[in-house]
Amino acid sequence: MQPYTADIAPLVEPVRDAARRLVRELGFMQPTLAGSGLSPSAVHALIEIGRHGTRTGAELSAALALEKSSVSRLLARLCDGGLLRPGPARDGRERPLALTRKGRATLAAIDGFARGQVAEALAKMPPPERMAVADGLSLYADALAGRRGAPAADGDPVAI
């Protein structure tokens, strides 16, 4: 970890505080997320698969920054729940997973919930601040991802 520089030190605690409040306000402290009855990691797995069409366990493990064994158990639960279906193996080892009809409907409900939550919060801000929030959160998320060597976000952002 790099030491704080004089220009960064005064910002560390306010950013940490804001991040904690975001986590709480977005519902990540609850056992389920976005009114879905699913865990936060399950919701994020559905979003990743929905964004890309299919994903393997290894791809999800990297995208979600979770251990492969945790992702494997998570995917088994989502398949058992009828939200995902495995496709044909790409290379004989790992099978890509896709959303089922039920999975697509669940993801649509999650997206609707999340869009409403974000839109309601943004509507409470003056227009210039809305763009500052969108830009700032994107930059901050990319910087955090860069710490673990993950690429910056690709494609359209997904709000939770």
Share of the chain above pLDDT 90, in %: 64
- Span 86-105, average pLDDT: 89
Lowest mean pLDDT among 16-30, 85-99, 109-123, 145-159: 145-159
For residue 86, the surrounding DSSP H or E stretch is strand 84-86
Is pLDDT of 140 > 70?
Answer: yes
Contact 55, 104 (CB under 8 A): no
Q: Is residue 150 predicted with pLDDT exceeding 80? A: no
SS3 36: coil
Of 78, 79, 77, 73, the residue nearest 61 (C-alpha): 73
Q: H or E segment at 99?
A: strand 97-99
pLDDT value at 51 more than 70: yes
pLDDT band with cut points at 50, 70 and 90 for residue 154: low
The set of residues, in sequence order, having a beta carbon less than 8 Å from that of 104 and lying 6+ positions away, is 50
Is the pLDDT assigned to residue 155 strictly greater than 60?
no
Q: What is the pTM of this model?
A: 0.82
